Structure 1
Amino acid sequence: MEDVGATVFYDDEDGCLDYECLHNNVEYDYDYAEANAEKETLYELYQYCLTPSLYDTGHYLLPLLGSTLLFRLFVHTPYISDKIFHILSVVIGIFIIQHYVQESLIILVVFVLFSYSILCVPKKYIYEWGHGGIRIFLPSLLIIAYCEFLMQPIIWHKLRSVIMIMAMKAISIAIDTNSSGSNNLPDIYSYLGYMFCGVTCLFGPWVSFKDYFLLRCSNNQTYTKWWITCSIGYAFLSFVFLSISNCWTQWIFVDNSWKSVSTIFKYVIFLSNVKEILFFSYFRWLMAYRDALSFRTSHFFISYVASALLVFAGFPLSSSTIVKPLYIEFPRSLVQVVIYWNIPMHYWLKTYIFRPSIKSLGKFGAVTITYLISSLLHGLNFQLAAVLLTLGFYTFVEFQLRAMLADTFDACVASKQCAKQKCTHKYNSYNCWWVFMINFAFAGLAMFHLAYLGLMFDTSDVQETGYSYSHTINKWAELGFASHWVALATYCIYFLIK
């Protein structure tokens, strides 16, 4: 994908690339979280958490893996026409949806047929405001509103990401068709095959229609030799992150560990009230970091599962990179986090929302509308909207402040790091210690904000139905809205020195 590294201020925060989508469909016989009253031995961790998690998840994914292999065989079978290939792609996609999220099948069929009928309407019969992606976005929003208010919360929480991926595909085709002329509208068979593609319809990610359409035209011998190795590598990484999310975070950061530590401090060094308050505050932030880490690694798990499926199905390696965990766990800035959290979604938002909006709305307006649309596509949910819009404000302020500092001091302290050979700044992290310290401080600030925002997506029972308004406010109130106050202070500093 071209230009995926461009600096922007947006991304999605929870997409369907989230372990919750999978967790709702997998039942475990052993409730590890409840049994973690005391720290288990490594053998108990292996027996009661690692083994059932990996085994049950692998068993759950087998139908998806088999369908992906069948899809790949169709891709590389020269004896079937393109029309038949698209029909078979639809059949595989409907089987996947029926098997995993059957409640969404009728809704998706109606949406896909209705969206194609809208695309077929000649432009002269559509008002100017209906051109491009808006004419598809409005029906998408209507479907999302229907699911949000009329479906059971548990069911809608499972379907949220599947419908979002479908809406993104339809909107991208509408905008591409509008910009290049109506003659480029895909025929009904290729459109249905793309929308119901069994490789991406469940966990995503969004892939362009061009990448899907050119699948049968690719003939890269080097890629053919390495696709199995790449698929296995992605699958291995996905299960590593699954074990971290499900087991290791709860094992390392035990909920009741503060009791024993606090008792030792009280009786050994006579811990004062002030120190005790500081200790309990530290513990709350430690638990916030644990929950946020568990959420992030669950996202990495689903992302690498999706990457493995893409490579396994025959998609090019250039479109298989979905997430970069190191850039998220050790970020230079929040801008870097939102770029590498979900690269295909970042590219989609940048191409179809941010760039068209910036011409008429300006930079801040484009950032706002981009995060707002991302929130609406995720569903009419207060917590998702609050986290995404908060993240949009954070990244905008950080980007503006650091860009101003970089220009003022001629130092490489901007949100996006310059290439070492192409950096034109007089001072950088390699020749000046204070530049390194500034970048290090902003990296620590980004980790602080990530712990605060990621805490919203904990592993409580509420996750099965989606997180409510009260859950969001209570979680942030427990930490004194610290991250918001810090962001406000950052904005004040930027405003004063602007």
Structure 2
Amino acid sequence: MDALPDIYQSKESIGYKNELELEYFQETFYDVWENCVIESYSSLYHSIHKPFVLNVIFGLLASFGLPEILFHWLTALCGGYMLVTTMQSTTGLIVIFSTFILAYVPLFCMKYVQSGIHSGENYSNQQTTNSCSGISATLILYGLIAMSVLFEYVLLDKEISLEIRGVMMVFSMKFISLVADLPAPNLPSFPEYFGYVFCSGNILFGPWISFEQYMLQVNFPTQKNLNWIFGVSKALSKSLIFLSISNCWASFFIGDNRNSLLTGYKEAISVRTGHYFICYVSEAFMLAAGWKDVSHHFEQDYWTFSVTNFMKIEFPTSLAAVVVNWNKPMHEFLKKYIYRKWLPTGKFQAVLLTFVISSLFHGFEIKVSTVLISLGVFSYLQILVREHISQAFNICVKIHTCKSCQHKIKRDSIICKLALIVFSFFTILHLIFLGVLMDQSTDEVGIYQKWYNLYFFSLWIMLLNLLVVK
């Protein structure tokens, strides 16, 4: 049948519906593997095999200790080539390249104008330089946020803004950290800057790395071995597993169900596993290009670049643990450059502003912003409630384990373990409640309907938490 019938109650319509239902119930494991998993893997291969091979070649060449300027230009050229061959929108490419190039102009001005201030080499001049760097970082932060929102809602079509959003977000994080970390006279040269922002390892999928971590590979290139091959292969294998769960297996094993909680869990797990897929692809790209966890950079047998920890998200002890392990590099960035800056205004204000700024980095899309801001408020309330219960009942149920526990009821007691299980269960419910908003169907039915289907249970739980705290 070529098209849906116009009259939904016709015999043709009923027959069509029954045919679809019959096909659905006859779907087998092999059908899903053949028609969904293999198709997903094939599409992925055509999308990433060239950038991946390019990173492998670059990583091997870097092992020989390339001259610094050659390293910078080579990784920049590789990153630029990946963008050109991957991005479908010419307008998007123009926006990315023009932004990356023009952004060096303020760096150039800061580097050479403030070098005169720094040349005095006295305490007063040093204080002035640090103050100017802080002001510059703040101005750049809000300027980049404004640019993200303008791209999302004013200057670009939605399809183009969605395509370039990830690339621009990682660039913004790099640029802000660059200005905040380095005194103006020590800002990178032209080749260093382009090598950093166009870095082939994270130009497409992230994650964010600091300029210091980027330069560590330049000055002390990692030596590739069998453990490197194993590390890259492990990251790719994990990404393939989570891709298949997100696209295929979640719907196959859970299916359409009248139980709203199960339906919500299916939608939320599809979103989360899709996120894990991206994270492990980004890890594979970074490892292939030669970068790994900075704390293990000089260990030849260690080949991991920690981006996410799915176990601590799927089996969470708290929402705070989910926030930390969802995207570790981004959490590090937000904590260092946003949260700590606003902490003097108060802990809640700092948490809320951090999640608001994170949502602005994501283009201030309504459903994404709702999830992020709700996550910030929920996690903060959860921390307060657990601290309150810990003090009231002298039980060790705080978010973080006590270093030298003085509670009467210890962490390893049965009562404490049962309490922690209850908190974990509530956290899983919150992940379902927030995760359903990221499903594509939210664009059609709206946020209110999604939460109505789940009886607003997370909001009721948080209201109870608020009453306990007060």
The answer, yes or no, to whether TM exceeds 0.5 is: yes
Partners of 1:241 and 1:66 lie apart in 2 by 21
Question: Residue 144 of structure 2: which of 140, 158, 174 is its match?
Answer: 140
Of 394, 398, 408 in structure 2, the residue corresponding to residue 426 of structure 1 is: 408
Contact 1:118/1:135, CA 8 A, preserved across alignment: no
Give, as a single letter, the amino acid of the residue that structure 1 aligns with 2:270: S
- Name the CA distance, whole Å, in 2 between partners of 1:153 and 1:36: 35
More off after superposition, 47-56 vs 326-335: 47-56
Further displaced range: 98-107 or 85-94: 98-107
Q: Is the 8 A contact 2:318 2:427 kept in 1?
A: yes
Report what 1:308 is aligned to.
284
Q: Give the 3-state SS of the residue equivalent to 1:165 in structure 2.
A: helix
Structure 2 partner of 1:107: 95
What secondary structure is seen at the aligned counterpart in 2 of 1:296? helix
- Provide TM-score, normalisation by structure 2: 0.84
Pair 173,184 (structure 1): closer, same or farther in 2 beyond 3 Å: same
**Corresponding residue for residue 63 of structure 2:** 76
**Mapping of residues 222-301 of structure 1, within 5 Å:** 224-255=225-256, 258=257, 280=258, 283-301=259-277
Measure the CA separation in 1 of the matches of 2:234 and 2:366. 37
Which residue of 456, 459, 466 corresponds with 1:481? 456
Match of 1:325 among 306, 310, 318: 310
Q: Distance in 2 between matches of 1:440 and 1:62?
A: 42
Task: Report the CA distance between 1:130 and its aligned residue.
Answer: 7.3
In structure 2, the partner of 1:96 is 82
Q: Distance in 2 between matches of 1:418 and 1:197?
A: 40
Instruction: Give the counterpart of 2:418 among 437, 449, 452.
Output: 437
CA deviation vs aligned residue, 1:233-262 (integer Å, no higher than 9, x gap): 11111111111111111101111xx4xxxx
Matched, 1:415 2:399: yes
Unaligned runs of 5+ in 2: 1-19, 118-127, 295-303
Write the mapping of 1:1-20 to structure 2, written as runs, cut at 5 A.
none
Deviates most, 122-131 or 480-489: 122-131
CA distance in 2, matches of 1:141, 1:298: 26
3-state SS of paired residue (1:415): coil
- State the Cα deviation string for residues 33-58 of structure 1 (Å, max 9, x = none): 99973251111111111111122212
Offset at 1:183? 2.2
TM-score by length of 1: 0.80
Q: Distance in 2 between matches of 1:45 and 1:244?
A: 11
Question: Any idea what the Cα deviations from partners look like across 1:179-221, whole Å, max 9, x if unmatched?
Answer: xx22221111101110011210110000111111111333566
Q: 1:217 aligns with which of 209, 216, 219?
A: 219
User: Quick check: 1:39–1:251 contact (8 Å CA) kept in 2?
Assistant: no
2:195 to 177, 193, 202: 193
Q: What does residue 204 of structure 2 align with?
A: 202
- Letter aligned with residue 434 of structure 1: I
Partner in structure 1 of residue 354 of structure 2: 370
Structure 2 CA distance, aligned partners of 1:50 and 1:35?
Answer: 21
Q: Report the CA distance between 1:292 and its aligned residue.
A: 0.1
Match of 1:263 in 2: none
Letter in 2 for 1:303: C
Deviates more, 1:158-167 or 1:57-66: 57-66
The one-letter amino acid paired with 2:327 is: N
Matched, 1:171 2:176: yes
What is aligned with 2:12? none
Of residues 49, 52, 73, the one that matches 2:36 is 49
Maintained 8 Å contact 2:222/2:291: no
Letter in 2 for 1:427: I
Give the whole-Å Cα distance in 1 for the aligned partners of 2:203 and 2:22. 35
Is 1:450 aligned to residue 431 of structure 2? yes
- Considering only aligned residues, what root-mean-square deviation do their CA atoms show, in Å? 2.5
Distance 1:194 1:231 in 2: 22
- Paired with 1:129 and 1:215, the residues of 2 have a C-alpha distance of 25
User: Match for 2:77: what amino acid?
Assistant: V
Sort the Cα spacing of 1:307 and 1:130 in 2 relative to 1 into closer, same or farther, 3 A: closer
Give 2:389's match in structure 1, choosing from 379, 397, 405.
Answer: 405
Counterpart residue type for residue 150 of structure 2: Y
Q: Which residue identity lines up with residue 51 of structure 1 in the other structure? A: I
Structure 2 distance, partners of 1:35, 1:406, is 54
Which structure has the higher relative contact order (CA within 8 Å, separation 6+)?
1
* Shift in Å, 1:459: 4.1
Distance 2:450 2:265 in 1: 13
Q: Tell me: CA distance 1:350–1:54, structure 2 relative to 1, closer, same or farther (3 Å).
A: same
Give the counterpart letter for 1:327 in structure 2: K
CA spacing shift, 1:64–1:111, aligned 2, 3 Å: same
Q: Residue in 2 aligned with 1:354?
A: 339
2:48 matched residue in structure 1: 61
CA distance in 2, matches of 1:429, 1:34: 50
The question of 1:338 aligning with 2:323 is answered yes
Secondary structure at the residue paired with 2:430?
A: helix
- Structure 1 residues 484 and 471: CA distance shift in structure 2, 3 A: same
Cα displacement (A) at 1:98? 1.2
Distance in 1 (alpha carbons) for counterparts of 2:88 and 2:37: 29
Distance 1:284 1:387 in 2: 19
Is the Cα–Cα contact under 8 Å of residues 318 and 399 in structure 2 kept in the other structure? yes
